[in-house]
Amino acid sequence: MSEKLGKPYTIHNISGKLNRDTIKYSEIKLLYDILGYELVLRKK
pTM: 0.71
Q: How far apart are CA 42 and CA 44, in angstroms?
A: 6
Q: How many Å from the N-terminal Cα to the C-terminal Cα in the chain?
A: 31
Residue type, 19: N
- Which amino acid, residue 1? M
- Cβ contact 2:34 at 8 Å: no
Residue 35: φ, ψ to 5°: -80, -5
Going from N- to C-terminal start, the domains of the chain cover 2-35
What local confidence, expressed as pLDDT, does residue 37 receive?
A: 96
Q: What pLDDT score was predicted for residue 21? A: 95
Instruction: Write out pLDDT tens, residues 1-44.
Output: 778 777 888 889 999 999 999 999 989 999 999 899 998 889 99
